[in-house]
Amino acid sequence: MSSRWTPWLVLLCSMAACGGGGGAVCTTDDQCASHFCRADGTCGPAGMADAAGSGDAAMPDAPSGVCVPNHDGMIARGELPMAPGVMATFRIATNATWNTAGHSNNDGSRTWDLSGQLANDADTPVTLGTPQGAWWAADYPGASYSAVLASGSDLQGVFKLDGTQLVLLGVVSPSGGATKTELTYDPPAKILAIPFKAGDTWTSTSTVTGYLNGGFGGSYTEKYDSSVDQVGTMTTPYGMFPVLRIATNLTRTSGLATLLTKRTFAWSAECFGTVASVSSQDNSTSTEFSDDAEVRRLAP
């Protein structure tokens, strides 16, 4: 079983949250009537701060309008801008060298900087797909959106998002037919517990069955163990964000044999979702690592 498409957390910033917006130029929140200075140095619209104060009320299941971070140390459903058609640009590097540990601060937080250039960097527009009209839609009822899982692969994860969790329902190829890939997770793999804050943990174990490149893909097990293990700031080419870091360990097994282990970090910010993520090489045993299979971060 190839690990090129190994599922990892796929969250995107909304155009409303990430777009230039044309607001007044700012460097700090208190320079804006809305008390929200976006990462691109422009003020968010006045009157939005109160709407976002409760988190969940700021953005419905089909996000629209502007979400404003309330900096409460928790990321709620309304602060996760994920829906079909949402698009963002990520700067992606493969087989890069960057240390996930970052810099430790005196207050216990950490600082990470991914604003610089890495080997093999490429800016890639990423768009969440709609289940409507997709060849696989009838087999994954209730799906919210699809997303390409990793650079160098066209396989897509099929996700379901509600007020309590984000789960992975399956993995599919762009088209059906004799060479299709269509794998189903039973039960769905839990990618996020919602809302989440520092110290939260969640886990799931799924049996994966179906077709891979047109042939029977066998039956194997994937276990996801996740924790919000660090708090701090992440600097990307787009800007600097207060973030929660989510560490996820994937273990793929068949019977008593371990087929694959993989560790992924995702740095998530209120109203932007994941602003950066880094995945380890296959079967790495390090808690923190610098030999990275893939690094992606939000870019202008």
CA distances from 296 to 23, 186, 199, 205 (A): 27, 29, 24, 26
| CATH value at residue 280 | 2.40.360
Residue 42 lies in a domain: no
Answer whether residue 64 is part of any domain.
no
* Residue 22 placed within a domain: no
**What pLDDT is recorded for position 131?**
96
- Structure pTM? 0.83
Q: Classify residue 59: in a domain, yes or no.
A: no
CB-based contacts of 70, cutoff 8 Å, min separation 6: 49, 52, 53, 55, 270
Q: Which pLDDT value is given to residue 142?
A: 95
Tell me, yes or no, whether 18 lies in a domain.
Answer: no
Residues 262-278 have pLDDT tens digits of 999 999 999 999 999 99
Strand partners, 127: 87
21 falls within a domain: no
State residue 51's pLDDT score.
30
Tell me if 169 sits within 8 A of 161, measured CB to CB.
no
Average the pLDDT over 72-94 and give the result: 92
pLDDT > 90 in the chain, percent:
70
Range of the domain at 96: 81-299
Nearest in space to 48 (alpha carbons), one of 37, 58, 63, 56: 58
Domains held by the chain: number: 1
pLDDT at position 19 is 40
